[in-house]
Amino acid sequence: MSFRIALAATGLFVLAACGAPPPDQRPGSPSAAAPRPLLTADQIETGQPRPPAPPEPAPAEGAPLPAYAPDPGMVRLQILLDRSRFSPGVIDGLGGENTRQAIAAWRKAEGLGEGDAADADLLQRLAAADAGRIMTRYVLTAADVAGPFSPPAGADLAATARAGTNYTSARERLAERFHMTEPLLQGLNPGVDFRRPGQTIVVPAVTNAPLAGVARIVVDKTERSARAYDASGTLLAFYPATIGSSERPAPSGTVTVTGVAPEPDYTYDPERVSYDRGDARIVVPAGPNNPVGSVWIDLSRDTYGIHGSPDPSKIGKTASNGCVRLTNWDAEQLAAGVKPGVTVRFI
């Protein structure tokens, strides 16, 4: 793979215009009332995670999926973990393995023993360490809604290279900016027209403070995580990760960071990589939905790196081609704290 820094072009993205509302949906009629959000900011500010429910059997093939029902307490917990640099991955209000691992890592780092329970005591301790408001309001700008936008990437790498790797919509851009899923963003802001600047939306009050002083990184292939430590051995950050696959495993042993490439392009070179995407050399341009996301941390093992992802919801849940894949925002935070020579140990 080769990488270069590239700036995305700018442009204007316009969705299909909405028609005029039918007579029974005109302003003032009962059916024209503003849609209710799935959650309110006040519910999240004071929320407590629901007790874990017993696992439900998988729905039968063809059966409708359960309705999306985020837990306000879980949203609050995930935001606090994200701000503490113990990342739950993407904020979705549903929890899951990434969130449980972040809880366990935070408890251990704080000397609170083992366990991954999302309980009131955990929230109280996290909130005591970070008293800022959980949710905030944000006004959409012209830059937020401007393109260019690209179609969703498919399996055809050459087609992705031709179509571009920009965000697919302003909603996707905003969801990633605030470390959340698109369904949660839409659920918090029902009826919002994300193509129109000037509107006020409700979003998580995440922070993007850069990491500093990373001396070593430990990548746990079994746990699917990456931990960053300073020179004294203090754990600075925890990130869920997608790490290789059974067919194309991640390296073993210790390597070093050789450099960082923001906004990298991606080069598929069949003469240098072992996975088969055809015989032609393909260069995919830079963009947040590039196969390696928004940043590449180059490692001393040829063709391997720690990088971002075009699909943050799949981190820790799918396989990679041997590299370590994080959400774009986690990869950017880690990249800000490393320099050439930082050791990366795979266990």
Confirm whether 76 is domain-assigned.
yes
DSSP string, 298-342: EESSTT-EEE--S-GGGTTTS--SSSEE--HHHHHHHHHH--TT-
Q: Which range of residues forms the domain containing residue 334?
A: 216-346
Same domain, 225 and 186: no
- Rounded CA separation 241/52 (Å): 24
Higher pLDDT, 320 or 42: 42
Same domain, 236 and 301: yes
Same domain, 74 and 202: yes
What is the domain count for the chain? Answer: 2
Confirm whether 132 is domain-assigned.
yes
The two tokens of residue 340 are 């050439």
pLDDT of residue 208: 83
Partnered with residue 297 across adjacent β-strands are: 260, 306
Same domain, 160 and 231: no
Name the domain boundary from 150, 174, 207.
Answer: 207
Confirm whether 60 is domain-assigned.
no
Same domain, 262 and 325: yes
Name the domain boundary from 159, 183, 207.
Answer: 207
Reported as a pLDDT band with limits 50, 70 and 90, residue 7 is very low
Confirm whether 260 is domain-assigned.
yes
Confirm whether 22 is domain-assigned.
no
**What CATH number does the domain containing 278 carry?**
2.40.440.10
Share of the chain above pLDDT 70, in %: 87
Reported as a pLDDT band with limits 50, 70 and 90, residue 59 is confident
Confirm whether 340 is domain-assigned.
yes
**pLDDT per position as a tens digit, 307-347:** 999 999 999 887 666 799 999 999 999 999 999 999 999 99
Same domain, 197 and 254: no
Same domain, 225 and 281: yes
pLDDT of residue 322: 74
Same domain, 148 and 245: no
Same domain, 296 and 172: no
Name the domain boundary from 152, 182, 207.
Answer: 207
Higher pLDDT, 37 or 33: 37
pTM attached to this predicted model: 0.86
**Mean pLDDT calculated for residue range 104-123:** 91
**pLDDT per position as a tens digit, 161-204:** 999 999 999 999 999 999 999 999 999 999 999 999 999 999 99
Contact 216, 201 (CB under 8 A): no
Contact 205, 138 (CB under 8 A): no
Reported as a pLDDT band with limits 50, 70 and 90, residue 35 is confident
Higher pLDDT, 257 or 272: 257
Reported as a pLDDT band with limits 50, 70 and 90, residue 6 is very low
Judge whether residue 10 has pLDDT over 50.
Answer: no
Confirm whether 6 is domain-assigned.
no
Return the H-helix or E-strand segment holding 182: helix 182-188
When mean pLDDT is compared across 48-62, 80-94, 186-200, the lowest value belongs to 48-62
Mean pLDDT (the chain) is 87
